[in-house]
Structure 1
């Protein structure tokens, strides 16, 4: 059963339900994973998405902050969620498809502005969250699984517009990249996007603070699609829909796509 999957930090699913619906109409991914929904589950405009064929949803939400949801056109049931680092945040939800594939949708904490846990609690929370993700994968080795989401880390030099300038900027610091690598190693997760697009600058986020974001192109690849080794060879057709960043009242993230022949 081939299916196409997309991940997108939407920065409020209620405020931006129009462009979510536009993506559903234009691109029609079978599964759409959203982060930073900023909505209680019962306030998500599910009727809008159901009308477009997305009749299955699993979600965790909270008012005004965080929140993750998976919408699917193909049968899907909830497969649980975890409160990583005991933050009591809605940052993870999992759904299982009929073919046995489990999709984990994550919204890793951004980490604040100062990359020092001694003076910035949020940075410490981010590192603790990643450590907990690592231990979770070590304790229960994932199989036939896909991990997606806004992981808020751009790990490679060509995942940021300027490696040297961003080494001390949250999202690209060595300690964050190291923590991310430990998560990836613990689950033997394969970076599907970079498996498909192994070379060259590739970004999925551009700051709202840059009005000429497209021309300046000071981006970072914060949004990821990973898969376990048993299904990683089935992943292909990866792409970042950069043009979506220019839609009316956009998110500062662009959707990331991949297709799996399973």
Structure 2
């Protein structure tokens, strides 16, 4: 039996993964469930853990910050993530494994089988550290991400990032405005998507707004710097983010915002 913990800030993700493991993976014993890296550290301290199903994007500390503690406890990691398969294809050889949300049962079984064989073979510590470090490095580049999974209450919506026009903060929620005129509200703060989305295409222009540069129609400084998007939405650029926006728009187009 593999002593296992689940680490994810989304209640639906935690409960659905728990159910899938209980129903499909006899070699797994769920030793604990955590909704944050801080809670996971406590579980690692009080239990001998073989395997961690670890979300990446979480408020406060992200999943990568748990890796040193996993290594210290000789626990192995399977990442659960909203990154698409194309982005992860290049780094799959360096990871113990990963699961793309929403989790597929067959992929889950295959990942658990791989983990069981890997742990049984007892690969050396240095090899495991190098694998996790390479995964963290490659994922952090975020250059190939083309899709993200957005929790919608009953499951997940898989969204092409090119279809995102802009994202607006609403307290502790983020509202996605999509090319097909749909809106999706997600119970995550804007900063998490600022970190996930490729910064050569998406720029935070205000504490409450991230825009997709593909949808910029025009910008002007008549009443302070303002961006007009192709769907007609007008969004203010805050003073402290104006310089970063200017740099991004210059590199993205042939126009000079200062002219």
- State the TM-score, normalizing by the size of structure 1: 0.26
Please tell me whether Structure 1 or Structure 2 has the larger radius of gyration of its CA atoms: 2
Higher relative contact order (CA 8 A, sep 6+): 1
